[in-house]
A and B are shown apart, each in its own frame.
Chain A
Amino acid sequence: MKFVLFNGSPRNQKSNTKILLEHFLRGYNRVNPESVPVSYLANRKLKDDHLTAFRDSNIVIVAFPLYTDSMPGIVKEFFEDIARSGISGSKKMGFIVQSGFPEAIHSIYIERYLEKFTARMKCEYLGTIIKGGVEGIQMMPPFMTRKLFGRFEALGVNFATNFGFSKAIGAKLRRPYKMTAMGRFIFSIVSRTGLTNYYWNSNLKKNNAYDKRFDQPFSRKADS
């Protein structure tokens, strides 16, 4: 069996997707020590190599961040390349979609597309792992990411054993599907303190851009 991973994050080696995949592979390699190649779709000069890696594989996982409610443009281009190549069938395909928004509801719409795309390529669909609230994990202290990384590691262990995603772990990663009434209430209270924007404000201040945060450079007033 030839297993390959595709990292579809435009942030390439600096991506949160890479971090999640590293934990997944740590778990995978605990069961199967064979190295798993990872192709970075942001390296568009290697488009032909990506297609070759896909063609030569039996099992594929494509992982990407949610961009405007679906796959980033570079991932869509990869899907178009696959469809155009005529390579299809006798592969198993799974997906990992991570988002900055905390709720899974944002990603369930692209999940339907991914299942349909897999069927269109006449491949077997392994499912889609959805995980929200991933933006900022590179700034978080270890106690805040321990559970998340542990779950991705367990997902990797399970994948190496069964060549499929664990439904139980997948279900846990999807939480919350939507914010609860209590969650919305707490959010509305906390947002009044400005704490919900802490991540954005700290980066705006670091870049000396805080005072410009509400700029509207394309408003008609700005033109005149």
Chain B
Amino acid sequence: MKITILNGDMSQGGSELSRFLEKLVAGISPNHQVSQFPLHTMNLHYCTGCWNCWWKTPGRCSINDDGSEIFNSVINSDFVVFASPLLAGFTSSALKKITDRLIVLLHPYIELNQGECHHRKRYAKYPDFGLLLEMEPDTDQDDLKIVGDLYDRFAINFHSKKRNMWLVNHDNTEDIIDEICFV
């Protein structure tokens, strides 16, 4: 299967998250195709809300940077890992930057989904995803619930499903590999 890892680590040196990801990738890559994106070191810009991707060049972002490589990988994956340290109680701005721009993969038209307005699909199939988080010293259960619920909401809009939420150095890499690859 094809797996995309969006790594929102913003630290300068090797963080616990990046070390954990290395172990994870080492376990997955022999049998599966893994594409990793170290977002903080890539040429990526913030979404400007121009909506050219919806009404000028449908399905294509006007920003000329590394975004297209990520969009292509995400939509053609079987599973996506959103990996990030928690910073100020939420996933990093590096990860949020590219998450905002994933609207390029959706259609502007509105439809009712679970009785709510949501954007309709642009593509036939969207990958399920998992969250891999590195906690802050003051992270509590309330923070994890808030983050988990927000990504559940994202899943509705992304026509997808948040399958798991893992914590660096709390969950075991072998178990995570099983959960990603053998569902």
Contacts and interface: CB of A to CB of B under 8 A. Distances in A.
Interface of A: 9-11, 15, 42, 44, 65, 67-74, 76-77, 79-80, 82-83, 101-103, 105-106, 109-110, 112-113, 116-117, 120, 178-179, 184, 187-188, 191, 196-197, 200, 203-204, 206-207, 209, 212-220
A90 B153 CA distance: 33
Contacts of A65: 49
A69 B75 contact: no
Contacts of A216: 59, 122-123
A180 B85 CA distance: 39
Interface stretch (B15-23, B28-36, B94-102, B163-171): B94-102
Given A105-B116, A178-B116, A215-B58, A76 B90 contact: yes
A109 B88 contact: no
The B interface is mostly helix, strand or loop, or mixed, namely mixed
- Ranked 4 nearest A-B pairs via Cβ: A77-B93, A83-B88, A73-B97, A203-B55
A11 B75 contact: no
A200 B150 contact: no
Place the interface of chain B in its size category: 35 or more
Contacts of A178: 115-116
B161 to A, nearest CB: 15
Contacts of B142: 116
A220 B110 contact: no
A112 B49 CA distance: 24
A214 B71 CA distance: 16
Interface of B: 46-51, 54-60, 68, 71-72, 75-76, 87-90, 92-93, 96-97, 99-100, 102-103, 105, 107-112, 115-118, 122-124, 138, 142-143, 146-147, 149-150, 153-154, 157
Given A10-B47, A213-B58, A214-B58, A200 B109 contact: yes
B47 A73 contact: yes
Contact of A80 (B92, B112, B123): B92
A191 B49 contact: no
Contact of B55 (A42, A44, A72, A209): A209
A70 to B, nearest CB: 5
Contacts of B105: 218
